[in-house]
Amino acid sequence: MEEYKKKIFNKFDGKRVSENILRSLIGIDDYITYYRLINKMVNESFLQPIKRSGSNGMNPPLYRRYQVIKIKDDFKMELKEIRLLDDSFNIEGYINKPKLYKDNKKQIQNINSFLKDNYMLINYPASINERSFQIFGQEKALKEDKVISKILKFNPKLNSKLNYYLTPEPFFEYDILRVEKESSSFNVLIIENKDTWYTLRKLIVKKRCHINGIYIHKVLYGEGKKISRKINSLTEYADTIYQSEDMRFYYFGDLDYEGIGIFEDLIAINTKLKIELMEYLYKKMIELSIGKKLPDMKEKQRHTSSNNFMKYFSQDDKVKIDEILEAGCYIPQEIICYEEWMKILSEMRD
- 23/115 same-domain check: no
- 13/146 same-domain check: no
pTM over 0.85: no
| CATH number, position 231 | 3.40.1360.10
- 218/323 same-domain check: yes
Whether residue 170 is predicted with pLDDT greater than 70 in this model: the reply is: no
Mean pLDDT throughout 98-124? Answer: 93
Q: Domain for residue 329, yes or no?
A: yes
**Integer angstrom CA distances of residue 314 from 213, 280, 309:** 19, 12, 12
Instruction: For the chain, give the longest Cα–Cα distance.
Output: 102
Q: Domain for residue 180, yes or no?
A: no
What does the mean pLDDT of the chain come to?
A: 87
- 233/291 same-domain check: yes
Whether residue 151 is predicted with pLDDT greater than 70 in this model: the reply is: yes
Q: Domain for residue 174, yes or no?
A: no
- The single-letter code of the amino acid at 159 is N
Question: Residue 207: which pLDDT band, with cuts at 50, 70 and 90?
Answer: low
- 122/42 same-domain check: no
In the prediction, which pLDDT does 179 show?
Answer: 47
- Residue 273, domain extent: 186-346
- 322/224 same-domain check: yes
Which of 228-232, 286-290, 325-329 shows the lowest per-residue confidence on average (mean pLDDT)?
Answer: 228-232
Q: What is the dihedral of CA 116, 282, 173, 246, to 10 degrees?
A: 150
Q: Are 57 and 51 in contact (CB under 8 A)?
A: no
Nearest to residue 286, comparing CAs of 251, 250, 330, 328? 330
DSSP 226: G
- 319/194 same-domain check: yes
Q: Domain for residue 177, yes or no?
A: no
Question: Residue 176: which pLDDT band, with cuts at 50, 70 and 90?
Answer: very low
Q: Domain for residue 120, yes or no?
A: yes
**Helix, coil or strand: residue 117:** helix
**Does 233 or 189 have the greater pLDDT score?**
189
DSSP letter string, 125-189: -EEHHHHHHHHHS-TTHHHH-HHHHHHHHH-TTHHHHHTEE--PPPPP-S-SS-----SSSEEEE
Q: Are 238 and 186 in contact (CB under 8 A)?
A: no
pLDDT tens digit sequence for 31-84: 999 999 999 988 888 888 999 999 999 999 999 999 988 766 678 889 999 999
Number of domains comprising the chain: 3
- 260/311 same-domain check: yes
Whether residue 174 is predicted with pLDDT greater than 50 in this model: the reply is: no
- 133/233 same-domain check: no
Single residue among 48, 68, 88 that ends a domain in this structure: 68
Nearest to residue 127, comparing CAs of 86, 92, 180, 164? 164
- 238/297 same-domain check: yes
Q: Are 304 and 261 in contact (CB under 8 A)?
A: yes
Q: What order do you get walking across the sheet with 275-277 strand by strand?
A: 218-221, 186-191, 247-252, 275-277
- 193/338 same-domain check: yes
Q: Domain for residue 340, yes or no?
A: yes
pLDDT tens digit sequence for 218-235: 888 888 888 888 877 888
pLDDT tens digit sequence for 102-114: 999 999 999 999 9
Q: Domain for residue 325, yes or no?
A: yes
